[in-house]
Amino acid sequence: MIIDCHGHFTTAPPALGKWRERQIKAWEASRFRVLPNELFISDEEIIAAIEGGQLKLQRERGTDVTLFSPGAGKMAHHYGDARTSLHWSQVANDLIARVCGLFPDNFVGVCQLPQSPGDALESSVHASAAELERCVTELGFVGCLLNPDPSDGYWQAPPLTDRIYYPLYEKLVELDVPAMVHVAMSRNAAVQGTCAHYLNGDTAVFMQLCQSDLFTDFPALRLILPHGGGAVPYHWGRYRGVMLDQGRPPLEEALLHNVFFDTCVYHKRGLELLTDIVPAENILFASEMIGAVRSVDPETGRRFDDVKSILDSIEIGPQDRQAIYGGNALRVFPRLERVLHNRKQEEVVR
Amino acid sequence: MIIDCHGHFTTAPPALGKWRERQIKAWEASRFRVLPNELFISDEEIIAAIEGGQLKLQRERGTDVTLFSPGAGKMAHHYGDARTSLHWSQVANDLIARVCGLFPDNFVGVCQLPQSPGDALESSVHASAAELERCVTELGFVGCLLNPDPSDGYWQAPPLTDRIYYPLYEKLVELDVPAMVHVAMSRNAAVQGTCAHYLNGDTAVFMQLCQSDLFTDFPALRLILPHGGGAVPYHWGRYRGVMLDQGRPPLEEALLHNVFFDTCVYHKRGLELLTDIVPAENILFASEMIGAVRSVDPETGRRFDDVKSILDSIEIGPQDRQAIYGGNALRVFPRLERVLHNRKQEEVVR
């Protein structure tokens, strides 16, 4: 089974974006709340969006299951207040749940969290733990996206290793689900979103983890760094060196029991570096589909985000390949196997 | 001739740091100014700092000339006001000039600029052009460091492609010197300096350049991205793809006449990727010495920042190697040859 651990519903029906726009405008104009139950999207609209988008690419590329989350940039946690974020998360996550219900063989849910910046950060961590629990226990989700910069481009929050986040980590461990560390949009004109803020978020958080004892406090916590870990594997020597400079244990010991990298790197040499540097058991197949880059690479004739075709062309031992393509995901997302199994059972019953 | 285009005076005599501390404290406590002429450092102190540090490593590693700038993190442009930054730049640059005077065969100056964030940004760009001119025409410097985030970790300024920076670019072109784009310290607890903010700065600026026509306006402007270009070569496919998505010309055409990457990548696989992906004519040898990482790599028995020994172990054609080790630097820093020639002449006269 080939599991793509990083897919976003970036092709959601336009009604979703319009609801969000109304929500933000109503709040900004008059502190008025547009409520989750004011969104109407038909099953047909969802089916059209998925069948013409993610499912089509899944089939073309021969992957089986996508761990599917709301559009990451659109999480945009800086808008409104804590309830703005809560309502938006509920709306976005419920829509993902409907996708998973309509395509039970192909999509499993990963939720966004109702994070908020500034004074609302602490209470939003508690709200995030609650929304995570709802999504996992009621909607059958298997993980979440955790935004290390709810200010969306200005890094106003403490590092993810700060105790303020501990209530969420307790919930992650209790539910036995991982978090993919994923920034949202950038509203900073100096830092573009998908090709700067995204990668910088991954890099910044890896270094936060290098400097902390978070995994001593939470030995069972699992974090995934998307986009191939930002700059990290390319600068692996730098991180190895700085751990020595700081008198800290080696990366393998300090981080690699808990930190995983996805394969969203859109060229062969980059993926070769990733698979050479990072142990196979720490790599999860992903294509960030449909996401940051949508063009066809004229050098390969395939879309840049067709990571599977590139990985297929790289020499990787069969065991490692199996681990990267799915084995690791089943280990890092232990609820995934159960969810898929239950869905099969339901199908049999039906 | 092997030219290291990225060295910092991180081993400066303690009096420098004490002066800076007094400068900041006096300003913060009572808007009082400690003046540049209140710093006293003897030639002997400078000689000891260099001979025991950068010169020792230069000799051990068999490199010839280092393009030498003040400690980058310590530029710390957010402190005080525009005059604080101006005085500090004058002090730091004058000290570099003394190093170059004492070791004319080994060090050539690269200046820091008196940048300031916020309301002072625009006037500080003009002050930077003036300080650049002083350093180049009076002190014999060949380039400068340009900080894309004078707020030191919060990205409060417009992108470097904004017209606010154009007076500086006009001066760079007029003087025919390049700028190394290099952030200073991070005062943001979420974004560590050398292993997060540094790399993120390189990545963010590359994407700024991908989105702009800066080099149409300044076809002769040359910018160097240090630290191997942050995350960029590892994610080269992502940038190629996003240029296509945006309907922009290929990276080679849009950026590579003007943008150069240094080799401050501290492991073999990373340097192999860099030299495979980026054309040799766009790569400048550098080791960021003495800088971010100071430990010895137990795997090689050499310091992580001994980039030359790693590059020597990589298969690179002789012409490309010569270009990376020095040929490109002479082209990107055209004043360098003249400065070294003039110094030789002066030596002959003496």
Cβ separation B190–A231 shorter than 8 A: no
Residue with tokens 């310590």: B74
Mean pLDDT of B105-118: 98
Cβ separation A237–B267 shorter than 8 A: yes
Cβ separation A155–B191 shorter than 8 A: yes
pLDDT band at B156 (very low <50, low <70, confident <90, very high): very high
Instruction: Please give the pLDDT value at position A348.
Output: 84
Q: Residue A210: which of B192, B299, B227 has the closest Cα?
A: B192
Interface of A with B in 228-247 (CB under 8 A): 228, 230-231, 233-242, 244-245
Contacts of B253 in chain A (CB under 8 A): none
Contacts of A199 in chain B (CB under 8 A): 200, 203, 230-231, 235
| Helix B198-210 and helix A198-210, axial crossing angle in degrees, nearest 10 | 180
Instruction: Please give the pLDDT value at position B291.
Output: 84
Instruction: Please give the pLDDT value at position B281.
Output: 98
Domain of A79, CATH number, reads 3.20.20.140
> B286 touching A, CB under 8 A?
no
Cβ separation A245–B295 shorter than 8 A: yes
Q: Residue A236: which of B123, B60, B273 has the closest Cα?
A: B273
Instruction: Please give the pLDDT value at position A350.
Output: 77
Cβ separation B292–A200 shorter than 8 A: no
Q: Is B264 helix (H, G, I), strand (E, B) or coil?
A: coil
Nearest CA in chain B to A277: B269
Question: Pick from A154, A237, A294: which is nearest to B155 by CB?
Answer: A154
Mean pLDDT of B184-209: 98
Question: Pick from A188, A203, A266: which is nearest to B155 by CB?
Answer: A188
pLDDT band at B5 (very low <50, low <70, confident <90, very high): very high
Cβ separation A242–B292 shorter than 8 A: yes
Query: Whole-number mean pLDDT of chain B?
Result: 97
> A interface mutation test: which of B165, B225, B227, B235 has the most A CBs within 10 A?
B235
Q: Residue A157: which of A122, A109, A207, A107 has the closest Cα?
A: A122
pLDDT band at B38 (very low <50, low <70, confident <90, very high): very high
Instruction: Please give the pLDDT value at position B348.
Output: 84
Instruction: Please give the pLDDT value at position A318.
Output: 97
Mean pLDDT of A52-56: 94
Cβ separation A199–B269 shorter than 8 A: no
Contacts of B291 in chain A (CB under 8 A): none
Instruction: Please give the pLDDT value at position A227.
Output: 98
Other CB atoms within 10 A of residue B282 CB: 23
pLDDT band at B292 (very low <50, low <70, confident <90, very high): confident
Mean pLDDT of B251-271: 98
pLDDT band at B347 (very low <50, low <70, confident <90, very high): confident
- The C-alpha atoms of residue B288 and residue B294 are separated, in whole angstroms, by 10
> A157 touching B, CB under 8 A?
yes
Q: How are beta strands A107-111 and B302-303 bridged, if at all?
A: unpaired
pLDDT band at A110 (very low <50, low <70, confident <90, very high): very high
Instruction: Please give the pLDDT value at position A282.
Output: 98
ipTM: 0.97
Please say if the pLDDT value at position A61 is more than 80.
yes
Please say if the pLDDT value at position A292 is more than 90.
no
Helix (H) or strand (E) holding B225: strand B223-225
Contacts of A235 in chain B (CB under 8 A): 195, 199, 227-228, 265-266, 270
Q: Is B308 helix (H, G, I), strand (E, B) or coil?
A: helix
Question: Pick from A207, A234, A276: which is nearest to B196 by CB?
Answer: A207
Contacts of A270 in chain B (CB under 8 A): 233-237, 273
Cβ separation A235–B155 shorter than 8 A: no
In this predicted model, what pLDDT tens digit does every residue of A315-333 receive, in sequence order?
999 999 999 999 999 999 9
In this predicted model, what pLDDT tens digit does every residue of A243-288 receive, in sequence order?
999 999 999 999 999 999 999 999 999 999 999 999 999 999 999 9
The CA-atom distances, in angstroms, between B169 and each of A85, B163, B176, B225, B256 are 42, 10, 10, 16, 17
pLDDT band at B32 (very low <50, low <70, confident <90, very high): very high
Please say if the pLDDT value at position B350 is more than 80.
no
Q: Residue B206: which of B178, B184, B236, B169 has the closest Cα?
A: B236
Cβ separation A148–B276 shorter than 8 A: no
Question: Pick from B188, B195, B240: which is nearest to A155 by CB?
Answer: B188
Question: How many beta-carbon pairs under 8 angstroms link A with B?
Answer: 215
CA distance A199 to chain B (A): 7
Interface of A with B in 125-154 (CB under 8 A): 148-149, 153-154
Provide the domain count of chain B. 1
Spatial neighbors of B214 by CB under 8 A, at least 6 apart, are B160, B161, B169, B221
Query: Whole-number mean pLDDT of chain A?
Result: 97
Q: Is B261 helix (H, G, I), strand (E, B) or coil?
A: strand
Q: What tokens appear for A154 in the block?
A: 């200005």
Provide the Cα torsion B332, B336, B337, B341; round to 10°: 180
Q: What tokens appear for A279 in the block?
A: 């142990």
Interface of A with B in 199-218 (CB under 8 A): 199-200, 203-204, 206-208, 210-211
Q: Is the pTM of this model over 0.90?
A: yes
Q: Is B305 helix (H, G, I), strand (E, B) or coil?
A: coil
Interface of B with A in 78-97 (CB under 8 A): none
Instruction: Please give the pLDDT value at position A343.
Output: 92
Helix (H) or strand (E) holding B108: strand B107-111
Mean pLDDT of A30-35: 96
Q: Which domain holds residue B99?
A: 3-349
Q: Give the catalytic positions of B in this structure.
A: 288
Instruction: Please give the pLDDT value at position A349.
Output: 83
In sequence order, what are the beta bridge partners of A4? A66
> A163 touching B, CB under 8 A?
no
Mean pLDDT of B302-324: 97
Question: Pick from A211, A240, A266: which is nearest to B237 by CB?
Answer: A266
B264 and B287 Cβ atoms separated by less than 8 Å = yes
SS (H, E, C) chain A: CCEEEEEEECCCCHHHHHHHHHHHHHHHHHCCCCCHHHCCCCHHHHHHHHHCCHHHHHHHHCCCEEEEEECCHHHCCCCCCHHHHHHHHHHHHHHHHHHHHHCCCCEEEEECCCCCCHHHHHHHHHHHHHHHHHHHHCCCCCEEEECCCCCCCCCCCCCCCCHHHHHHHHHHHHHCCCEEECCCCCCCCCCCHHHHHHHHHHHHHHHHHHCCCHHHHCCCCCEEECHHHCCCHHHHHHHHHHHHHCCCCCHHHHCCCCEEEECCCCCHHHHHHHHHHCCHHHEECCCCCCCCCCCEECCCCEECCCHHHHHHCCCCCHHHHHHHHHHHHHHHCCHHHHHHHHHHHHHHHC
In this predicted model, what pLDDT tens digit does every residue of B112-141 receive, in sequence order?
999 999 999 999 999 999 999 999 999 999
In this predicted model, what pLDDT tens digit does every residue of A154-202 receive, in sequence order?
999 999 999 999 999 999 999 999 999 999 999 999 999 999 999 999 9
Q: Residue B180: which of B144, B139, B214, B151 has the closest Cα?
A: B144
CA distance A184 to chain B (A): 16
pLDDT band at A313 (very low <50, low <70, confident <90, very high): very high
Q: How are beta strands A3-9 and A65-70 bridged, if at all?
A: parallel
Other CB atoms within 10 A of residue B127 CB: 22
> B interface mutation test: which of A164, A165, A202, A203 has the most B CBs within 10 A?
A203
Contacts of A297 in chain B (CB under 8 A): 237, 240-241
> A190 touching B, CB under 8 A?
yes
Contacts of B231 in chain A (CB under 8 A): 199-200, 203, 230-231, 234
Question: Pick from A149, A189, A267: which is nearest to B237 by CB?
Answer: A267
Interface of A with B in 25-64 (CB under 8 A): none
Contacts of B228 in chain A (CB under 8 A): 234-235
